């Protein structure tokens, strides 16, 4: 099927078009620069930016794919989770286009879309698979046995998301927002073993109760303490070493627990999605550790890991192919949509 996907849950206005597993267009407008000076996404600013960007981004996606709205078989849109006002812009636009062009509409889960996008890179996802979902607002391990109908959470962060930890640590180091890309770059020049930062929820007693859960707030605090001590002593901050050591702590825990989940469930496929999946060390370490157990790692190219419309189209395409019924035209946006609901 030819499916168009609309994403407006945060600060990216994304419209993607796919045919089956083939990516035809991935148009994006971002308001990230407007938020940078606030050190985080400002909801009102994001909503207004979506409103301004949605129609031109739609036109660009259709032009890039060389199709018209009449050719589209279905429209998928992120219904949640995300910023309420931002989601409403995408959902309202999707309804307008669906009504005008008489197309079915699918209100989908942004997090499931972060997993589904890998099909554009590597084809159909073998099920069951384990998914490591690591983004700005979420960090979870999921059992994916039927992506069209639901996923089973195995564990999640009990405090900060992995991406949030990158963003907060970048701020401590004087690096720009969002913090993932500059930390990834700085870490390449640093020593990942320079500073022994804590690995949250990996002590034997924590593993008993939180085997597949994550915790990154203690790590963030440890980095803050370390940085403060240096500053109090009037010493220069070894930014590259701190970045590399912090990044290693995050990637060590994420990959160890993801592979433990695969082995515990006897599953040979690990798919990694969400903005943090763009991290070069996470990708390398996951590959390296998975190989030892014959586990296949699937991670899409970095541009497909961060928010985009193609991921929404990919999930929509999967739903259409699986025969899932479309949503009602009055579908709601749900800023707190749970991970267990794939489409509304």
Binding residues for Fe cation: 110, 114, 307
- What are the helix (H) ranges across 177-279? 180-187, 204-210, 217-232, 239-265
Phi, psi values for residue 50, rounded to 5°: -60, -45
Complex with ligand ATP: residue 135 or 255, whichever CB lies closer: 135
Residue closer to ligand ATP (CB basis): 255 or 306 = 306
Q: From the list Fe ion, Mg ion, ligand ATP, none, which binds 200 (C-beta under 5 to 8 Å, kind-based)?
A: none
Minimum CB distance to ligand ATP, residue 342 (Å): 15
11 binds Mg ion (CB under 5 A): yes
Question: What is the spatial distance between Cα 244 and Cα 185, in angstroms, rounded to a whole number?
Answer: 9
The SS3 assignment for 101 reads helix
Cβ(173)–Cβ(227) below 8 Å: yes
Looking at beta carbons, which residue is closest to Mg ion?
11
CA 212, CA 14: separation in Å to the nearest integer? 31
The single residue listed with the structure tokens 């938020």 is 35
β-bridge pairing 129-134 and 269-273: parallel
CB closer to Fe ion, 46 vs 173: 46
Contact between residue 57 and residue 30 where contact means Cβ atoms under 8 Å apart: no
Q: Which position among 169, 307, 337, 343 is part of the footprint of Fe ion (CB under 5 A)?
A: 307
CA dihedral 17, 122, 343, 329 (to 10 degrees): 10
Nearer to Fe ion, 161 or 251 (CB): 161
Q: Which of residues 291-320 bind Mg ion (CB under 5 A)?
A: 307
Q: Contact between 178 and ligand ATP (CB under 6 A)?
A: yes
Per CB under 6 A, the segment of 142-150, 271-279, 312-320, 327-335 that binds ligand ATP is 271-279
| Site for ligand ATP, rule CB under 6 A | 9-10, 82, 110, 114, 135-138, 163, 166-167, 178-181, 184, 274-276, 278-279, 306-307
Q: Please report, as ranges, the residues that interact with Mg ion according to CB under 5 A.
A: 10-12, 307
């Amino acid at each position: 099927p030819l499916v168009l996907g609309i994403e407006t849950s945060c600060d990216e206005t994304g419209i993607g078009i796919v045919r089956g597993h083939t990516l035809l267009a991935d148009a994006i407008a971002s308001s990230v620069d407007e938020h940078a000076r606030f050190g985080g996404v400002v909801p009102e600013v994001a909503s207004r930016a979506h409103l301004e960007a949605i129609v031109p981004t739609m036109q660009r996606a259709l032009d890039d794919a060389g199709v018209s709205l009449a050719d589209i078989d279905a429209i998928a849109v992120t219904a949640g989770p995300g910023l309420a006002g931002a989601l409403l812009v995408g959902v309202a636009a999707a309804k307008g286009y669906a009504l005008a062009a008489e197309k079915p509409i699918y209100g989908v889960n942004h997090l499931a879309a972060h997993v589904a996008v890998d099909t554009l890179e590597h084809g159909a996802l073998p099920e069951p698979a384990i998914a490591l979902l690591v983004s700005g607002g979420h960090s979870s391990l999921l059992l994916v046995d039927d992506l069209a109908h639901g996923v089973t959470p195995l564990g999640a962060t009990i405090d900060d998301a992995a991406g949030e930890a990158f963003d907060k640590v970048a701020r401590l180091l004087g690096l720009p927002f969002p913090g993932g890309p500059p930390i990834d770059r700085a870490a390449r020049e640093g020593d990942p073993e320079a500073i022994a930062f804590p690995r949250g929820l990996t002590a034997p007693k924590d593993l008993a109760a939180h085997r597949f859960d994550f915790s990154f707030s203690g790590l963030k605090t440890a980095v803050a303490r370390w940085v403060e001590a240096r500053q109090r002593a009037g010493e220069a901050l070894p930014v590259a070493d701190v970045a590399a050591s912090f990044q290693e702590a995050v990637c060590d825990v994420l990959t160890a627990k993801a592979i433990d989940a695969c082995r515990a469930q006897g599953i040979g496929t690990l798919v990694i999605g969400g903005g943090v999946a763009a991290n070069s060390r996470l990708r390398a370490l996951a590959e390296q550790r998975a190989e030892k157990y014959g586990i296949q790692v699937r991670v899409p190219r970095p541009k497909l890991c961060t928010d985009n419309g193609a991921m929404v189209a990919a999930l929509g395409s999967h739903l259409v192919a699986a025969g899932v019924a479309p949503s009602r035209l009055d579908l709601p946006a749900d800023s707190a949509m749970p991970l267990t609901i794939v489409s509304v």
